[in-house]
Amino acid sequence: MEYNAQLKNRMKRIEGQVRGLIRMMEEQKDCRDVVTQMSAVRSALDRTAALMVSTNLAYCIRNEKQAGESSEHLINEAVHLLVKSR
């Protein structure tokens, strides 16, 4: 799979959020604030993983249809990946 600029930018944003988390911890910020930021990072990762899986799934299904093959196994694999990521 080719990872486009949108996915890379999302990951760079998440990387910045993680750096901010570390800085908050070093500055002894309130636990509630740190956990809130952790939740935001987790949510961003989940959304990025879902985008990646759906983009890959769409690409694979198009290729399977062109080859005249069933895409059922690809859909099952995508669902498994999403469930596994949680």
What are the boundaries of each domain within the chain?
Answer: 5-85
pTM for the predicted model, two decimal places: 0.74
CATH of segment(s) 5-85: 1.20.58.1000
- Measured distance CA(56)–CA(61) in Å, rounded: 9
Give how far the C-alpha of residue 80 lies from the chain's centroid of Cα atoms, to the nearest Å.
14
Give how far the C-alpha of residue 47 lies from the chain's centroid of Cα atoms, to the nearest Å.
5
Q: How does pLDDT run along the chain (86 residues), one tens digit per residue?
A: 678 899 999 999 999 999 999 999 999 999 999 999 999 999 999 999 888 888 877 777 777 777 776 777 777 777 777 777 66
